[in-house]
Amino acid sequence: MAKKRILSLHLLFFISFCLIFSSGRLGSGDGIQQLRATFLYVNTGSFGSLADFGKDNWVFDGKSRYYEVHDFGANELMLPVAFLISHLPKSKQGPVVSDVPTAAHALTTLEYSLIAGIGWWFLLRFLLFFYPLRRSFFLTLLFVFATFWFPYARCASDVLPETAFVILLLYSMVFLLRSSGSLWPAALCGFAAGETGCFRYTFLPFLCLGLLIFVVLNRRKISVNQVIVAFAFFDLFLAPTLVYNYVRMGSPFIPATMAPQFLFANGLSGHPIKGLLLLLLSPNHGLVFFAPIVLVLPAIGMVWKKLAEEYRTILLAFTVSVAGYLAMIGSIKNWPGIFAYGPRYLLPVLPIIFIGVAAVFEGLWEKNKKVLMGLAIVSFLINFPAMISNWYLSTLICAPAMQPEELRPMQILSDWKCLMMSLIGRPLTHLDGVSDSAASGFPDIWTVRLMELSLGGKVVGVFCLLFLIVVCLYSVWGAWKTMQRLEN
């Protein structure tokens, strides 16, 4: 009973923390167009538009309608918000941007932050299979604050929810191996894998390969019935994406991002080795520069024999998935993602990479505290500005920050420059390309933006912020007191 209470309090903490720091704005123009398509469905019964909204985000189905280009997962998540806002009186919906009320932008971002908090919790649940609670908790803090994950958790980016489903999949795989033939964890595995495919269809082949290797490695622990149930749930939750692909492209297996008009960005570059090296080592968008803690991965061999068997099989199976996905992303022209913070397209595999990092940190901590702590602090400092300010804006106003092959860490430097300007009270609106004072506000938190709207907004914003802070502190205090009682 006490363990359940502690876990519940941790979930409350993770969710409230993510909601406190949520920006209240969509993370990109892609998100706006996805929300636009979702509102279109709620209001007309179709995700397709008879009007052409532009070739940057919409693709023609060859018949009569234009469809938003991205995978279907974001539309699924946005449906409750679109339904709620659409049924409010027009007078209460507020101003409109790209056919979408701005209130829907904020609610969608809060929904994504909620999912981020749940994903954070399942990472804790995964680590608890192998490590004590306190160590597991601090390892999750490493994932949140020493990688580029949290800047995306603060805004509605279509890649963010996929990390939550990948984490859920990792948790359910260990649950499956320890379930003694239960079908429930198999269904959870299928659900998580299917939803992962809905958010990043291009990752799906590599994910399925990893799952196949996992099943083969654990064939004596996984029953045929569990495989059948997992596959059934996988098909069930992946089906909407396959149908959406068929409607847009005439084939369930070809995503709309592969339409000819998008090949300038998503087509093969012809330089796979160069792209892979930049993806990993570029100072401007490379994995190593935005998550230096991954530098410990070569030491995985030093702790390999200490790891639980389930941990090792997951790492073995998904190493193949990650390697294949990295090679594929490194081969395309737009490997970092347009207007991305760090290597955006690596978010789907970041949880898999991190569990390797966590194993090394846990195994080598006692003898290498200073080195590992120093690496964690450097990783935190690199990502800190993007955790409280508008990283999208700081990237936009610095042209070199958007250049994938720039050999200087211009995005990191631009983030810190904008943070320093904000701290000394210099508005960013005087910079070239910045006209939206709300987007340039500091800190980049939804309750603060709400306080700036009106007296009523100030009252609501202060109340929401204080409420979330109280919930956050209560959950920390409650978990600490409960752990003390258990230890005594």
What pLDDT does residue 333 have?
Answer: 80
Task: For the chain, give the number of residues.
Answer: 488
What pLDDT does residue 454 have?
Answer: 85
**Residues 329 and 346: beta-carbon distance below 8 Å:** yes
- Distance (Å, whole) CA 172 – CA 165: 10
What pLDDT does residue 433 have?
Answer: 47
> Tokens 């009973």 sit at which residue?
1
Residue type, 356: G
Per DSSP, the three-state class of 324 is helix
What pLDDT does residue 430 have?
Answer: 47
Q: Which of 471, 455, 444 is nearest to 109 (CA)?
A: 444
pTM above 0.85? yes
The two tokens of residue 220 are 């004596």
Averaged pLDDT in 10-residue chunks for the chain of 488 residues: 87 96 81 89 90 84 90 92 85 59 87 96 97 94 96 86 96 94 95 95 94 95 95 97 94 90 75 88 93 96 95 96 93 77 92 97 94 96 93 82 84 90 70 52 87 89 96 93 75
**Residues 419 and 385: beta-carbon distance below 8 Å:** yes
246-275 core/surface letters (b: 16 or more CB in 10 A; e: else): ebbbeeeeebbbbbeebeeebeeeeebeeb
The two tokens of residue 128 are 């608890």
Q: ∠460-477-355 over CA atoms, to 5°?
A: 95
| H-only helix segments in 67-156 | 73-86, 102-128, 133-145, 149-153
Q: ∠7-10-16 over CA atoms, to 5°?
A: 145
Q: Please give the backbone phi and psi of residue 58, each rounded to the nearest 5 degrees, phi first.
A: -125, 145
Residue 331 makes CB contacts below 8 A (sequence gap 6+) with: 268, 269, 271, 272, 275, 276
What pLDDT does residue 249 have?
Answer: 92
